[in-house]
A and B are shown apart, each in its own frame.
Chain A
Amino acid sequence: MSLAPEIAAPEIVTLENLRRVTRERALGYGITLIAIGLLEVLWFGAANSALQTTIELGYNSSSAMPPITSAVRVIPLLIGLLLLAPVVSKRARAFVPARIKFTKGVRNFLVIVGGYLIAWPVVLWLGVNSDGALRTMTIPDSATGYVVGIITTVAGGILAWRRLDRSASPLLYTGLMLFMLGFLIWVARGSNVSGLHLQLTGILAASVAAATFLIFGSLSGTLCERSGVVNIAIEGQFMTGAMSSVMVASAMNGTGISLFLGVLVAGVLGALLGWVLAVMSLRYQANQIIVGIVIVAFCTAVTQFITSQVLDVHQNLNGAFPLPVWAIPFFSHIPIVGPILFDQNILVYVAILGVIIVNIALFRTRWGLRVRSVGEKPLAAETVGVSVTRMRYGAVILGGFVAGLGGAAFTIGAGTNFTFGMTNGYGYIALAIMIFGRWRPYGALMASLLFGFTIALSANLNIYLSQLVIPQQFISMLPYIITIAAVAGLVGRIRPPAADGVPFSRE
Chain B
Amino acid sequence: MKLELRAVTKHFGSLAANENVDLIVEPGQIHGLLGENGAGKTTLMNVLYGMITPDSGQLLINDEVVDIRDPKDAVTHKIGMVHQHFMLIPVFTVADNIILGSEPVKPWPFIDHRSATERIIALAKEYNFHIDPSATIENLPIGQQQRVEILKALSHDAEILILDEPTAVLTPQEADALMVIMRTLKSQGKSIIFITHKLKEVLEIADVITVMRLGQVVGTTTPAETNEAALATMMVGRDVNLVVEKPPANPGEVVLDVTNLFVQDDRGLTAVKGVSFEVRAGEILAFAGVQGNGQTELVEALTGLRRATAGSVLLNGTELVGRSVRDVLNAGVGHVPEDRQRHGLVLTLSIADNLVLDQLDSPQYKSWSGRKLKAIQENGKKRIAEYDIRAQGEDEPLSALSGGNQQKVVMARELSRELKVLICAQPTRGLDVGSIEFMHRQIVAIRDEGVAVVIVSSELDEVIALGDRVAVLYDGMIQDVVAPTTSREDFGLLMAGSRPAVTGATL
Contacts and interface: CB of A to CB of B under 8 A. Distances in A.
A384 B292 contact: no
Contacts of A14: 475
A366 B104 CA distance: 8
B101 A376 contact: no
Contacts of A361: 109
A254 B144 CA distance: 62
A136 B115 CA distance: 55
Interface string B135-175: 00011011110000000100010000000000000010110
Interface string A361-386: 10011110110110011011111111
B400 interface: no
B174 A10 contact: no
Interface string B249-279: 0000000000000000001111000000000
Nearest to A506: B51
Contact of B92 (A9, A11, A376, A507): A376
Most buried by A among B86, B89, B139: B89
Nearest to A360: B110
Of the four ranges (under 10, 10 to 19, 20 to 34, 35 or more), the interface on chain B belongs to 35 or more
Interface string A478-507: 000000000000000101001000000011
Interface in B278-311: 290, 292-293
B11 interface: no
B65 interface: no
A366 B177 contact: no
Given A7-B496, A364-B111, A365-B110, A21 B268 contact: yes
B221 interface: no
Contacts of A1: 128, 184, 187
Interface string B48-61: 01011000000000
A13 interface: yes
Interface stretch (B26-34, B69-77, B339-347, B349-357): B69-77
B111 A7 contact: no
A377 B89 contact: yes
B91 to A, nearest CB: 6
Interface in B97-113: 97, 99-103, 105, 109-111
Contacts of B96: 369
Given A12-B292, A373-B89, A376-B90, A383 B51 contact: yes
A358 to B, nearest CB: 13
A377 B270 CA distance: 27
The contact size tier of chain A is: 35 or more
A4 B171 contact: no
Nearest to A2: B180
Contacts of B49: 383
Contacts of B470: none
Interface in A219-257: none
B81 interface: yes
A372 B142 CA distance: 23
Contacts of A495: 91
Contact of A369 (B111, B144, B290, B474): B111
B75 A376 contact: no
B101 A385 contact: yes
B436 to A, nearest CB: 26
Given A3-B128, A8-B498, A366-B105, A385 B92 contact: no
B87 interface: yes
B125 to A, nearest CB: 11
B91 A376 contact: yes
Contact of A383 (B81, B92, B293): B81
B193 interface: no
Contacts of A498: 90-91
Given A10-B497, A385-B75, 16 more contacts: A3-B181, A6-B130, A7-B171, A10-B290, A366-B103, A366-B110, A366-B111, A367-B109, A373-B92, A373-B100, A380-B87, A380-B88, A384-B71, A384-B75, A385-B101, A507-B51
Interface of A: 1-4, 6-14, 17-18, 21, 361, 364-367, 369-370, 372-373, 376-377, 379-386, 493, 495, 498, 506-507
Interface of B: 49, 51-52, 70-72, 75, 81, 83, 86-92, 96-97, 99-103, 105, 109-111, 128, 130, 138-139, 141-144, 152, 156, 171, 173-174, 176-177, 180-181, 184, 187, 267-270, 290, 292-293, 474-475, 496-498
Which 5 A-B pairs rank lowest in CB-CB distance, beginning with the nearest?
Answer: A384-B101, A385-B72, A9-B141, A4-B177, A380-B87
24 contacts: A1-B187, A2-B180, A3-B128, A4-B173, A4-B176, A10-B292, A10-B474, A10-B475, A10-B496, A10-B497, A11-B139, A12-B292, A17-B270, A21-B268, A364-B110, A369-B99, A369-B100, A370-B101, A377-B90, A380-B97, A383-B49, A385-B70, A385-B75, A493-B267
